Amino acid sequence: MVNVIGLGYIGLPTALMMASHGVEVIGTDYNKELVATLNAGRTTFKEDGLDELFQDAVKAGIKFTTEYQVTDTYIVSVPTPYDKFSKKVDACYVVAAVKEVLKVCPKGATVVIESTVSPGTIEKYVRPVIEEHGFTIGEDLNLVHAPERIIPGNMVYELLHNNRTIGADDKAVGEKVKALYASFCQGEIVVTDIKTAEMTKVVENTFRAVNIAFANELAKICRHDNMDVYEIIKICNMHPRVNILQPGPGVGGHCISVDPWFLVGDYPSLTKVIWDAMKVNDSMPDFVLNRIYEIMKEKGMTDISRVGLYGLTYKENVDDMRESPTLQLLESQERHLAAGLKVYDPFIEKDVVKNQYHSLDEFLDAVDLVVIMVKHNEIKENMGKLAGKVVLDCHNICDLPGVYHI
């Protein structure tokens, strides 16, 4: 039986996927409300295909609880934020979860850390906890790292199809855990050592962050000298060895805006490109705010409360707002004493910020300048409703005449 610890954006779909592929699974989360919701037959976030997967897993017998289980395999999928000051990974959730596992796990169990951690984190923070408990790693307990790569919005498909990495001290243990993931994963599963697995996950997200920063920097250069960044990227990408990403209003979420900092925190004198890239991405919400002021000036608009931000989440068609560019921009405008921007997101039903609307039509009635911060399908399908508005399109999805870009 597998005990999945942490039933958030990653742990829940992983637990459901395993359960619906014949693995006996019990999911544990210390959040009582979350466990009660799951036990009442409801999922805890919106994601394509998640409800169907949930039904399959429930039929297959998955259970949800706040208690850690006595079993032979644990998968730990708890948060790994970064320390805003040192930029290093904050492993406290992982360490706390492993300590709880140690209270119940029998000798011979395998503990798989799925949470994203920087290279050396398991060595530095997790191994000592196990050794202090009196267990010899490799004899009394096996330690494995299996980082997750799925993207919110396409999690169910990617869980099935992505390639995976398993890091283990011992090849045979790695192969055993590989077989567990192969119960549902159709991608290739590479077995390597723990530190290499830790590093690959962080490097993958850093690669994305640096390349997004390059596109964002191009957008700034082009804005400065009145060139069309989208046309330029389109032409450059016709080169057989060039593949530039698209610029945007900033980067959010739990991965690309966080994980590269782990490398900066651990290797401060070796990470100039990564540091600068993160700063460029972090500067984008302010860049958008300046564009708003410029456009208002050009249009003779003086009332910031007639400006509306479309989208609160960090990416399209998900309900995850963590570190989102819109939240960053709203913080900035508070600092600039320009509070008053209106906000709407079809995926956010609760009131989370000031001046938030819950209907697209009411939101559009209340504003003259619409800033497309997130390219949800809803706005793509309702582009006609923006006719007559001033539009700042941060994703180049609106083909109405006179649209402004970042």
Active site residues: 201, 255
Q: List the x/- string, 251-270, binding to ligand NAD by CB under 6 A.
A: --xxx---------------
Among positions 199-258, residues that touch ligand NAD (CB under 6 A) are: 253-255
User: Distances from the Cα of 68 to the Cαs of 37, 196, 198, 245, 391, in angstroms?
Assistant: 18, 29, 25, 43, 51
For residue 382, give the 3-state DSSP assignment.
coil
Interaction between residue 119 and ligand NAD (CB under 6 A): no
Name the one range near ligand NAD by CB under 6 A: 8-16, 228-236, 303-311, 376-384.
8-16
Closer residue to ligand NAD, CB minimum distance, 122 or 390: 122
In this complex, which beta carbon is closest to ligand NAD, that of residue 28 or of residue 333?
Answer: 28
Which of 77, 121, 216, 326 forms a contact with ligand NAD (CB under 6 A)?
Answer: 77
Report H helices in 125-228: 127-132, 155-161, 171-181, 194-224
Q: How far is CA 201 from the centre of its chain?
A: 13
> Whole-number minimum distance, CB 360 to ligand NAD, in Å?
26
**Stretch binding ligand NAD (CB under 6 A), from 75-83, 215-223, 285-293, 395-403:** 75-83
* Residue 35 binds ligand NAD (CB under 6 A): no
322 token code pair: 């963590």
Q: What residues between 91 and 110 interact with ligand NAD by CB under 6 A? A: 93, 96-97, 100
The candidate with the shortest Cα–Cα distance to 343, out of 393, 382, 308, is 308
* Span interacting with ligand NAD, options 27-35, 130-138, 210-218, 363-371, rule CB under 6 A: 27-35
Specify the residue, 64 or 357, whose C-beta has the smaller distance to ligand NAD: 64
Near ligand NAD in 354-373, by CB under 6 A = none
Side-by-side strand order, sheet with 390-393: 356-357, 342-344, 307-310, 369-372, 390-393, 404-405
**Is the CB of residue 219 less than 8 Å from the CB of residue 245?**
no
CA-to-CA dists, residue 46 to 54, 194, 321, 343, angstroms: 12, 32, 12, 20
Residue closer to ligand NAD by CB (options 164, 254) is 254
Are 305 and 355 in contact by the 8 Å Cβ rule? The answer is yes
Of residues 16, 34, 348, 391, which one binds ligand NAD by CB under 6 A?
A: 34
Comparison of 34 and 197: residue with beta carbon closer to ligand NAD: 34
Residue of the chain from 31, 186, 237, 377 that contacts ligand NAD (CB under 6 A): 31
Task: Cite the beta strand spans of 21-163 per DSSP E.
Answer: 25-28, 63-65, 73-76, 109-113, 141-145
Q: How many chain residues touch ligand NAD (CB under 6 A)? A: 28
Q: Which is nearer to ligand NAD, 201 or 405 (CB)?
A: 201
Answer yes or no whether residue 79 interacts with ligand NAD by CB under 6 A. Answer: yes
Number of C-beta neighbours around residue 83 at 10 A: 13
The DSSP code sequence of 272-338 is HHHHHHHHHHHHHHHHHHHHHHHHHHHHT---GGGEEEE--SSSTT----TT-HHHHHHHHHHHTT-
Residue 100 or 170 having the CB closest to ligand NAD: 100
Q: Which of 2, 3, 6, 126 contacts ligand NAD by CB under 6 A?
A: 6
Q: What residue ranges bind ligand NAD (CB under 6 A)? A: 5-11, 28-31, 34, 77-80, 93, 96-97, 100, 115-116, 148, 150, 152, 253-255
